């Protein structure tokens, strides 16, 4: 696979696939030639409970406060486990990733969390798409930026 596009929502994933051309829908992703488009369905991850950080937090007391929960740990949300697994497998196969979360702080965090969860080391670009319109998506895809420029958002 050449490039993996990770959209925040399935609707945006479909628009990106249409903009790339020749979409073929699969289970949890869309093939567009050598490229693949997949998506999150809201947050695929949630913060791990305190006891995942330290066993004594399973039944903590006031003397444990403040809880030391840094760095944050994430766990899969049961309702979206299958899509998380799909995204994780696709990340492993990608040469490059394009982060297509919504152009706001939550959209930035949502995809970044998934990339961190899977210890991604592949190069990541960022696309900012404000409109679920194929022409707007094509224009945005022609202006990819380095995802590191946006780390402050999340």
Q: Which helix (H) or strand (E) holds 85?
A: helix 81-93
Q: pLDDT, tens digit, for every residue of 78-111?
A: 999 999 999 999 999 999 999 999 999 999 999 9
Q: pLDDT, tens digit, for every residue of 118-138?
A: 999 999 999 999 899 999 999
Q: pLDDT, tens digit, for every residue of 36-95?
A: 999 999 899 999 999 998 898 999 889 889 988 888 899 999 999 999 999 999 999 999
State the CB neighbour count (10 A cutoff) for residue 146.
11
pTM for the full predicted model: 0.92
Mean of pLDDT values over 27-40: 97
Tell me, which fold does domain 3-153 have in CATH? Answer: Rossmann fold (3.40.50)
For residue 153, is pLDDT > 80? no
Pick from 58, 89, 52, 82: nearest CA to 70: 52
- Determine the pLDDT at residue 102: 94
Least confident of 23-27, 70-74, 89-93, 144-148: 70-74
Pick from 80, 93, 84: nearest CA to 113: 84
- Determine the pLDDT at residue 151: 85
For residue 1, is pLDDT > 80? no
Q: What percent of the chain is predicted at pLDDT more than 90?
A: 84
- Determine the pLDDT at residue 37: 98
């Amino acid at each position: 696979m050449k490039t993996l596009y990770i959209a925040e929502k399935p609707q945006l994933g479909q628009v990106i696939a249409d903009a790339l051309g020749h979409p073929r829908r699969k289970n949890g992703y869309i093939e567009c030639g050598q490229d693949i488009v997949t998506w999150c369905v809201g947050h695929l991850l949630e913060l791990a409970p305190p006891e995942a950080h330290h066993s004594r937090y399973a039944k903590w007391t006031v003397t444990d406060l403040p809880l030391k929960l840094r760095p944050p740990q994430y766990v899969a949300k049961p309702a979206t486990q299958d899509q998380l697994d799909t995204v994780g497998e696709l990340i492993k196969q990608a040469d490059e990733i394009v982060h297509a979360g919504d152009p706001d702080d939550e959209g930035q965090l949502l995809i970044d969390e998934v990339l961190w969860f899977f210890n991604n080391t592949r190069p990541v670009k960022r696309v900012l798409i404000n409109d679920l319109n194929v022409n707007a998506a094509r224009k945005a895809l022609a202006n990819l930026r380095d995802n590191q420029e946006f780390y402050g958002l999340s």
